[in-house]
Every structure is written in structure tokens, then in C-alpha cells.
Amino acid sequence: MTRVAVQDFDRQVDLLIRARYSAIYVVTFEEDRLADMLYAIAKKQGKKLYVWSSHSGLLRYQKDKRQSESEPQHCSPKEVLKEIHRRHDSALFLLRDFNPYFEDPTIARQFRDLASELKSTYKTLIISAATMDFPVALEKDLTVLDLPLPTAAELRELLRSICVELDRSSQDSVRINKNDMEALVRAAQGLTLSEAENAFAKAAVHEGVLTSKDVDIVQNEKQQIIRKSGMLEFHPPDTTLADVGGLDSLKRWLARRGKAWHPDAHQFGLPEPKGMLLLGVPGCGKSLTARAVAQYWGVPLLHLDLGRVFTSMLGSSEENMRRALAIAEGIAPAVLWIDEIEKGIGGSGKGEHDGGTSSRVFGTLLTWMQERKAPVFVCATANRIDDLPPELLRRGRFDEIFFVDLPDSRSREEILSIHLSKRKRNPKNFNLTDLAELSQNFSGAELEHCVVESLFAAFEEERDLEDTDLAQAMAEVTPLAVTSAEDITRLRNWAQKRTRSADYPGPLGKKENPRG
């Protein structure tokens, strides 16, 4: 069984058919779009397309024409396979939702025999289903493909046809220029064709005219549809790199990598940024940075909730993962944020307890990370090395693995300054150097905590915040670095050989000018 996620789906199917692959299994929610694509391929190859479903039987597919309303024929799975065997024409046979019938061993056998026989004919079987679900015995007979979500070109084509339609029905109902058009297309990326059609239609109905303002409507519609999928969510752009103190080396890296998104970069020979793994001490800004990256690069931020991928309510975990990744590709360029990746997947021996589900889901993610074509930058965070599967750390999965350590004294000054400013205090009024000295081994989260606590103290005494309040709050904190000293030392030792410092240029352990 070959499994490929393809950008150039048309070309792949075309090639497989020409190479006389006799049975192709396409995973998609978009039956109509698939039928239209197959119709175009069949036409190009001088073949016919027939579509079967248990309800309407076997029918010749004719684009933009209503199906004839004659009595349905060859409805049962047995009959349709027999009928395909009998036919002599060169044709593609699209069988919709055929997979449940494979449960019946006689049908599975009949199907395999037919698939084998068709190899020497010009007939091809194509099964479409929303999930990849068939008996192991058929793995060798089926080539599985994913139909990716529509490309910008397909969405543009759809929008154009909607505009023509609108224009025809009432004059002046379309008031968009080329840029608005692109913005609308962009807003719809990540949706299926029919979802996009609905979103565009909704936008057009709103105030009876399609304008640049409707980009928001389409964008909102998309957010809701994606939220319904359960595992992915658009994260609002609420954080910038200016909110992150320290981590200079990581910031510099991001500035440089960000340029690789530019179209010229590809021309220049740069690969697209793949992703980064931020590993490190709790509360030091991993999640914070992950959230800031998208905003910094001006692309949408998608949060993948790994916990929810495993929710059986949503369907099979593997399928959920694949769907989430397909949506992310549809929305690309984008940042895909996977927080605490070790908790969701991997985990030493986890796979043994859940029948291998978590390792399969993880495999799906790893394969995708290796093969994806669309510019989706994966920003993963982790703080437990024991649970990190070694495959994840292998070269090539991420562009870089950064170690986020406790902030040094200069970074602590910066972090204090950020959190004071956020709470309407001028950092210049505080002796940050001394305060940084008093907060050795504090994490960013602990520094923030001190700022908040000291504000409470000052407010209680009905005066403004002073250095002493901060010093007092700091004296009351026992940092995690002290309570979990062993864990942190172990983490550091581990990271030394395998990661790059987020603070200092060069490999970990060879700190240039260590501060703090």
C-alpha cells in the first residue's frame, strides 16, 4: 500500500491510471469535487466516468447535467462489481462509500479478483470515502491518496464564477478589485470547495453586495468551520516578540528564517522554513514565543490541540490528525503551534497501552513533517525529555531544536521591564539591575508572578509600586529551579549535546559571554 499526500493530486491520479493501477482509494469529504476532477482526467484520457452509490446505482457522470431519473441499476455491491467486469469500455468507475462492504469476505474477494483482472484493461476503480478504513487484506490492492483541500487557484476560479453569476442576476452586486479578490481567496483557504462556496455566498448576501468588507465574513466563517473540526483553532494574534524577554539567539534566528517566506527566497534557493522545537525549563517563554512567531511573520497561527486529536467523539485519532494537517496545509502559509508535544504523543511505552494508536498518530505527524509541500511552520514545545520519542529529534524534522533555559540577569531585567510596562508602570522608575540580582534562578513566569504580587501589596497600602514591594515578593518565592534542581540539571545536560541555546549564539555549553 502506498500512501501519499499530494499537492498535485490531478497529475498523480492521471499517472496512476495511465500506469494501470486498477484500484485507487481517495480519502476526502469532497465527493463532488473529486468527481469533477476525475471527469476532467477521464476526458483527457478519452475515457468515460461512471459513478456508483448504493442509493443511485451505476450512472454515467456528466458534468453540469442532471443525472437521468431512470430506475437505478446495479445498486448492490455484488452487482456493480459484476457489471464493471462485464463492460468493455475504457472508463473510470467511482464507487462512493464502498468500503463498508469490504466487511463481507465474499465482496472483498470479488473486489480483489476484479482489481487484479483490470490491470490488463483500461478500466480503473476509484473508491472515495471520508476516512481510510478497509481490511488489512486489501492493503496491497489499493493505492491510497488524499485529496488535498482546494488550492488558491481553484478558490479563485470558484469566486470568479460566483461573481459572474452575481453580476448577471443584479448589476452592481460585485464591488471588488483584484486585491480584494485575492484577500477573499486567502480568507477561504483551508475550506473545502463547498464550504468556500457557502462562505462566499453568505458574504454576497450580506448587504446584497460583495465588497472588500466581506473578507471578514469569510474569515469568520472559516474560523467557525475550523473550530467545529474540534482539534484546530485559530489563535488570535495577541502576542508579539516584544513581549518576550531574553532569548536573543532564538529571536535572531527567527528574523533570519522569516525572510525565507518571501517568494524571492525560493528563487534564491532557500528551502522553506519547516519548524522548530522549543525545549526547556517550565515557565521560561516557550509557549509565549510559539504564539509570537506567527504574528512576527504576519501569517495566521493555528493551534493544534493534541489532546483532542485522540477524542473518539471526533472520529479515529489518525484521521483527525490527517484532517487537521490537511486544513493547516490549506491555510498555508501558516504557523502550526503544537504545545507540549510530548504529552500528546510518544511517551515511552504509551503505544503499548492504547493498541498503538498514539504511535500511529505520531507516525502520521512525522511523515507529514517530512513530506509536506505547503509552507506550514511547525512550532512545537516540550519540557519533558523522557517522553520525547527519538524520531522527533532526528535531523530534518525541524530546522532547529532550541533549549530555553532560565533567564540570565540581563534577560531577567528585560522580562521585569516587559511585565511592569504591561501593568502601566515605567520600568525606568525601578532599579532593575538590583531586582535581577535578587531573582537569580527565577523563570519568566515567576518574575511575572512577582510583579503581580507586588502590585497587590502596594494597592493594599494605597500607594504606588516600589522596588521594596518587588524585592519582598521575590523573597517569598522559592523558584522551581530550586525545588526541581535535579530535573533541571538533567535537562540541561541532556540538551547540551542535542540542542542550540535560545539565548546565546553557538552550541549549548559554549556560551559566549555568559551573563547571569
Ligand X SMILES: Nc1ncnc2c1ncn2[C@@H]1O[C@H](COP(=O)(O)OP(=O)(O)OP(=O)(O)O)[C@@H](O)[C@H]1O
Taking CB within 5 to 8 Å according to partner kind, which of ligand X, Mg ion, none is near residue 284?
Answer: ligand X
CB of 419 to ligand X, least distance (A): 7
Q: Considering beta carbons, is residue 275 or 444 the nearer one to ligand X?
A: 444
Task: Compute how many other C-beta atoms are within 10 angstroms of the C-beta atom of residue 506.
Answer: 11
The distance of Cα 293 from the centroid of its chain, to the nearest Å, equals: 15
- The binding track of 405-434 with respect to ligand X, each residue x by CB under 6 A or -, is ----------x--x----------------
**Which of these, 347, 351, 428, lies nearest to 388 by C-alpha position?**
347
Can residue 448 be called a binding residue for ligand X (CB under 6 A)? yes
Specify the DSSP class assigned to residue 345: S
CB of 443 to ligand X, least distance (A): 6
Taking CB within 5 to 8 Å according to partner kind, which of ligand X, Mg ion, none is near residue 244?
Answer: ligand X
The distance of Cα 420 from the centroid of its chain, to the nearest Å, equals: 35
In the list 288, 304, 361, 420, the residue contacting ligand X (rule: CB under 6 A) is 288
* Distance, CA of 177 to CA of 342 (rounded, Å): 46
98-106, 115-123, 130-138, 444-452 -> range binding ligand X (CB under 6 A): 444-452
In the numeric block, which cell numbers belong to residue 296?
512576527
CB of 382 to Mg ion, least distance (A): 9
Q: Considering beta carbons, is residue 257 or 286 the nearer one to ligand X?
A: 286
Taking CB within 5 to 8 Å according to partner kind, which of ligand X, Mg ion, none is near residue 107?
Answer: none
Q: Considering beta carbons, is residue 448 or 469 the nearer one to ligand X?
A: 448
**Cα Dmax for the chain:** 92
Using alpha carbons, list the distances in angstroms from residue 92 to 17, 123, 124, 398: 9, 6, 5, 40
Count of residues in contact with ligand X, rule CB under 6 A:
18
Q: Which residues contact 217 (CB under 8 A, 6 or more apart)?
A: 199, 202, 203, 206
- On whether the CB atoms of residues 450 and 474 are closer than 8 A, the answer is yes
Can residue 285 be called a binding residue for ligand X (CB under 6 A)? yes
In the list 124, 189, 357, 383, the residue contacting ligand X (rule: CB under 6 A) is 383
Question: How many residues belong to the chain?
Answer: 516
Can residue 344 be called a binding residue for ligand X (CB under 6 A)? no
6-14, 244-252, 364-372, 485-493 -> range binding ligand X (CB under 6 A): 244-252
Strands 48-53 and 57-60: antiparallel
Residues paired with residue 128 on neighbouring β-strands, in sequence order: 26, 96
In the list 144, 209, 314, 445, the residue contacting ligand X (rule: CB under 6 A) is 445
Determine which helix (DSSP H) or strand (DSSP E) holds 241, and give its type and residue range: none
The separation between the first and the last C-alpha atoms of the chain, rounded to the nearest angstrom, is 55
Can residue 283 be called a binding residue for ligand X (CB under 6 A)? yes
70-78, 183-191, 277-285, 493-501 -> range binding ligand X (CB under 6 A): 277-285
* Distance, CA of 390 to CA of 384 (rounded, Å): 13
Can residue 17 be called a binding residue for ligand X (CB under 6 A)? no
In the list 124, 295, 358, 381, the residue contacting ligand X (rule: CB under 6 A) is 381
Q: Considering beta carbons, is residue 305 or 437 the nearer one to Mg ion?
A: 305
Q: Which residues contact 22 (CB under 8 A, 6 or more apart)?
A: 114, 115, 116, 117, 118, 119, 121, 123, 124, 125
**Closest residue (Cβ) to ligand X?**
444
**Which of these, 16, 4, 204, 252, lies nearest to 126 by C-alpha position?**
16
**Which of these, 165, 132, 163, 161, lies nearest to 146 by C-alpha position?**
132
Can residue 336 be called a binding residue for ligand X (CB under 6 A)? no
Q: Considering beta carbons, is residue 190 or 283 the nearer one to ligand X?
A: 283
**Closest residue (Cβ) to Mg ion?**
287
Q: Please report, as residue ranges, which positions from 155 to 194 form the binding site for ligand X (by CB under 6 A).
A: none
Determine which helix (DSSP H) or strand (DSSP E) holds 374, and give its type and residue range: none
> By the criterion CB under 5 A, which residues form the site for Mg ion?
286-287
Residues that bind ligand X (CB under 6 A): 244-247, 282-288, 381, 383, 415, 418, 444-445, 448
